[in-house]
C-alpha cells in the first residue's frame, strides 16, 4: 500500500514538473481561465443592447415624435436612420445596417387621442436573427404599453389592458443575463481545461513513446490512472476556486450557498471529465485525433446543457442525452449554490446524477485500460476469431465431403488440409 502510494506520488510529481516546465501551458491552464472569464463576463450578459433602428414616420405629428423619442431612449434600441419609405428601410435591412424598422402610419396622432379608434404602429424585425427580432418586438410593445399607460393617466381614456401582469423575478431581481452567462462560462472553462489535460496526457505519452517506458516501471494500471487523475483534479479545483472568486468578488454574483459544497460537487464533475478524457486518449492514436474527439464531445455537451435552448425544450433524443451530460447537472448545481442558496437537500438529484455519471465513465475508462480494448487490439481479436471460425468451417466441410464419399464408396483424392496456424496481418502504425 505504502509502495503504491509512493509510486503514485512519483507520477504526480512528474506530471507537475512537466506542467511547470511548459510556462505557456501553465499560463493557459491557470491564468487564461481568469482572463477569459473577466473579458467575456464584461462583454456578455448585457443582453440585447443598442440595436440599430430605422424609423419611417409617415405621420409627422407631435405624438409620433414622442413615440420615436421613447424608442430611442430604450437600452435596446437606438435610431440609426430616418427613412422616407418602407422600401428604403427594407433595403437597409437587407444590407444588415438596421435590425428593426418601425413604421408610424399617417393619422397615428389623431387615432391615438380618439377614444373610438385604435392607433397602430408597425414593427418589422430582422427575422434572420431571432434573438434580435424578439427583443426588438418586445421592446416596441413595452414602449406602446407605456404610452397607453400615460394616456390613461392623462385623459382618463379607458384601456391599458384588462389583465396586467406584474413580474417579480426571484434570485435575480433585475433579470440580469450576466449571472446566467458567467456561471455557464465557469462550467465550460473548468470543463475544457480538465477534459483536454486528461485526454492529451495519456495520448501524448503514447505518441512520444514514453508510455512504453512507463509500462516497464512497477507502476500498475490503476496507479497510472490515479497518478494521472490527481494533478488534473487539483488543477480543475484550483481553477474552479479562482473563478468562483472572480465571479463573486468582481462580477457581484451572489454566493448564497456554501462554497465548500460547490467545491465538493465540482469533484465528481471533474472526475467525469477525466473519465471521458482517459477514454478519448485510449481511443485515439494521435493527439490530433484526441483533440478532435474532445471538441466533438464538447459540442455535444454544450448542445445538451441548456445553454442554447432551455433544457426542458430539447427534443426526445437530446433530452435523453442531456440526462448523461455532466455539464447540465453541474450548471444546476452552480446556479443553485450561488444564486438560489440551495443546499445538498435540494441539490441531491443533480449531485447524485453527476456522481453516477462520474462513476460510470471512470469505470468504463478503467475497464478499457484494464482489458486493453483499444481499437487495434479489438480488430486483431476479431480477425483471429474470424480466421479460427473460417478454418473450423472449412474443416467441417472437408470432413462432411469425406464422409459422403465414404458412404457412396467413391474414392476421391484426399483434400489437402488447411495450415494449422492463423494468419493475422498486423497493420503497421
Partner 1 sequence: MSIRRLFSILVKEYRHILREPRTLWMVFLSPAFVLIALSTVFASGSGRINLVLWDQDHTPLSRQFATTLSSDNDFSVGRASGYEEVETLLVEQRIDAALIIPPGFADTVQSGDSASVQVILDGVDTLVAGQTTGSLLGHAADFGLALSRQLSLPPLPLQVRSQSAYLPSTAERESMIPGLIPIVFSLPVMAAALALARERETGSLESLIATPVRGLEYLGGKLIAYVTAALVGLLPVWLVATLLFGVPFRGNPLLLVVLAADFLLASVGMALFVGNVAHSQQTTTVIALFIFFVPGFFLAGLIDPIDTTDLPGTAVSYALPSTHFVTICRALFLKGASLAEMWQPALALLVLSIAWVGLGALTFKKRMRQ
- Residues binding partner 1: number (CB under 8 A): 129
Span near partner 1 by CB under 8 A; candidates 193-201, 212-220, 272-280, 380-388: 193-201
Q: Is 181 in the site for partner 1 (CB under 8 A)?
A: yes
The one among 61, 70, 177, 226 contacting partner 1 by CB under 8 A: 177
- DSSP-derived 3-state class of residue 308: coil
For 410-418, which contacts have Cβ atoms below 8 Å and span 24 or more sequence positions? 418/391, 418/394
- Within a 10 A sphere around the Cβ of 9, how many other Cβ atoms? 12
**Cell 424609423 sits on residue:** 55
Q: Grid coordinates 466441410 are at which residue?
A: 397
The helix or strand, by DSSP H or E, that contains position 54, with its residue range, turns out to be strand 51-57
138 is a site residue for partner 1 (CB under 8 A)? yes
Does residue 189 bind partner 1 (CB under 8 A)? yes
Query: Taking CB under 8 A as the rule, does residue 196 contact partner 1?
Result: yes
Least separation in angstroms between CB 123 and partner 1: 4
Which residues, 19 to 58, sit near partner 1 by CB under 8 A?
Answer: 22, 24-25, 28-29, 32, 36, 39-40, 42-44, 46-51
Our finding on whether 294 is near partner 1 (CB under 8 A) is yes
Report the residue number, 9 or 295, with the smaller CB distance to partner 1. Answer: 295
Contact residue for partner 1 among 210, 288, 363, 390 (CB under 8 A): 288
Give me the least distance between CB of 321 and partner 1, in Å please.
9
Alpha helix segments (H runs only) across 284-343: 287-304, 316-323, 326-335
Q: Binder to partner 1 among 53, 56, 185, 219 (CB under 8 A)?
A: 185
Q: Find the shortest distance in angstroms from Cβ 271 to partner 1.
A: 20
Q: How far apart are CA 387 and CA 274, in angstroms?
A: 37
Q: Which residues pair with 82 in a beta bridge?
A: 55
Q: State yes or no: residue 134 binds partner 1 (CB under 8 A).
A: yes
Closest CB to partner 1 among residues 23, 407: 23
Touching partner 1, residues 255-284 (CB under 8 A): 284
Q: Which of 297, 240, 233, 244 is nearest to 271 (CA)?
A: 233
Q: How far is CA 330 from CA 178, 181, 351, 392, in A?
A: 18, 14, 8, 53
Measured from the CB atom, is 252 or 313 closer to partner 1? 313
Using CB under 8 A as the binding rule, whether residue 163 contacts partner 1 is answered as yes
Binding test (CB under 8 A) with partner 1, winner from 291, 323, 324, 344? 291
Per-residue mark of binding to partner 1, 209-228 (x: CB under 8 A) = --------------------
Cβ partners under 8 Å of residue 240, min gap 6: 186, 190, 262, 263, 266, 270
Calpha distance 59→181 (Å, rounded): 42
Binding to partner 1, residues 304-343 (CB under 8 A): 304, 306-315, 317-318, 332, 335-336, 339-342
Task: Provide the angle, in degrees to the nearest 10, between the axes of the packed helices 326-335 and 177-208.
Answer: 140
11 binds partner 1 (CB under 8 A): no
Residue 426 contacts partner 1 per CB under 8 A: no
CB of 40 to partner 1, least distance (A): 5
* Enclosing H/E stretch for 387: helix 375-408
**Which residues, 75 to 104, sit near partner 1 by CB under 8 A?**
90, 93-96, 99
Q: Report the nearest approach of partner 1 to the CB of residue 194 (Å).
A: 11
∠ CA 366-328-183, nearest 5°, is: 115
Region of 146 on the Ramachandran plot (φ > 0 left; ψ -120 to 50 alpha; else beta): alpha
Q: Which parts of 226-255 interact with partner 1 (CB under 8 A)?
A: none
Radius of gyration of the chain (CA): 33
Residue 109 cell numbers, joined: 396622432
Within 10 angstroms of residue 81's Cβ, the number of other Cβ atoms is: 15
> What is the distance between the alpha carbons of residues 200 and 284, in angstroms, rounded to a whole number?
10
Closest distance of CB 181 from partner 1, Å: 7
CB nearer to partner 1: give 58 or 151.
151
Amino acid at each position: 500500500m505504502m509502495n503504491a502510494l509512493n509510486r503514485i506520488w512519483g507520477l504526480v510529481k512528474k506530471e507537475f514538473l512537466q506542467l511547470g516546465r511548459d510556462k505557456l501551458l501553465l499560463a493557459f491552464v491557470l491564468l487564461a481561465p481568469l482572463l477569459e472569464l473577466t473579458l467575456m463576463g464584461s462583454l456578455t450578459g448585457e443582453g440585447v443592447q443598442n440595436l440599430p433602428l430605422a424609423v419611417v414616420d409617415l405621420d409627422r405629428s407631435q405624438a409620433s415624435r414622442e413615440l420615436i423619442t421613447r424608442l430611442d431612449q430604450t437600452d435596446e434600441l437606438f435610431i440609426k436612420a430616418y427613412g422616407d419609405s418602407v422600401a428604403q428601410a427594407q433595403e437597409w435591412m437587407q444590407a444588415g445596417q438596421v435590425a428593426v424598422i418601425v413604421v408610424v402610419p399617417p393619422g397615428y396622432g389623431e387615432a391615438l387621442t380618439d377614444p373610438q379608434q385604435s392607433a397602430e404602429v408597425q414593427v418589422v424585425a430582422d427575422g434572420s436573427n431571432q434573438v434580435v427580432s424578439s427583443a426588438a418586438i418586445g421592446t416596441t410593445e413595452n414602449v406602446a404599453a407605456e404610452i397607453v399607460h400615460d394616456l390613461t393617466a392623462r385623459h382618463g381614456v379607458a384601456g391599458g389592458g384588462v389583465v396586467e401582469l406584474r413580474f417579480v423575478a426571484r434570485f435575480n431581481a433585475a433579470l440580469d443575463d450576466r449571472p446566467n452567462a458567467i456561471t455557464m462560462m465557469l462550467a465550460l472553462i473548468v470543463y475544457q481545461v480538465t477534459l483536454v489535460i486528461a485526454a492529451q496526457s495519456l495520448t501524448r505519452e503514447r505518441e512520444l513513446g514514453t508510455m512504453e517506458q512507463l509500462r516497464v516501471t512497477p507502476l500498475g494500471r490503476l496507479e497510472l490512472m490515479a497518478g494521472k487523475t490527481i494533478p488534473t483534479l487539483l488543477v480543475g479545483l484550483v481553477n474552479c476556486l479562482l473563478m468562483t472568486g472572480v465571479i463573486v468578488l468582481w462580477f457581484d454574483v451572489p454566493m448564497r450557498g456554501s462554497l465548500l459544497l460547490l467545491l465538493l460537487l465540482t469533484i465528481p464533475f471533474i472526475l467525469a471529465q477525466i473519465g471521458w478524457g482517459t477514454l478519448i486518449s485510449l481511443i485515439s492514436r494521435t493527439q490530433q485525433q484526441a483533440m478532435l474527439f474532445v471538441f466533438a464531445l464538447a459540442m455535444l455537451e454544450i448542445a445538451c446543457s441548456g445553454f442554447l435552448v432551455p433544457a426542458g425544450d430539447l427534443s426526445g433524443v437530446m433530452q435523453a442525452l442531456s440526462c448523461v451530460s455532466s455539464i447540465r447537472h453541474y450548471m444546476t448545481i452552480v446556479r443553485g449554490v450561488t444564486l438560489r442558496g440551495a443546499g445538498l437537500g435540494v441539490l441531491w438529484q443533480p449531485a447524485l446524477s453527476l456522481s453516477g455519471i462520474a462513476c460510470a465513465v471512470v469505470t468504463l475508462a478503467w475497464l478499457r485500460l484494464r482489458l486493453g480494448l483499444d481499437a487495434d487490439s479489438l480488430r486483431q481479436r476479431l480477425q483471429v476469431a474470424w480466421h479460427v471460425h473460417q478454418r473450423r468451417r472449412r474443416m467441417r466441410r472437408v470432413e462432411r465431403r469425406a464422409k459422403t464419399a465414404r458412404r457412396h464408396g467413391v474414392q476421391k483424392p484426399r483434400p489437402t488440409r488447411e495450415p494449422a496456424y492463423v494468419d493475422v496481418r498486423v497493420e503497421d502504425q
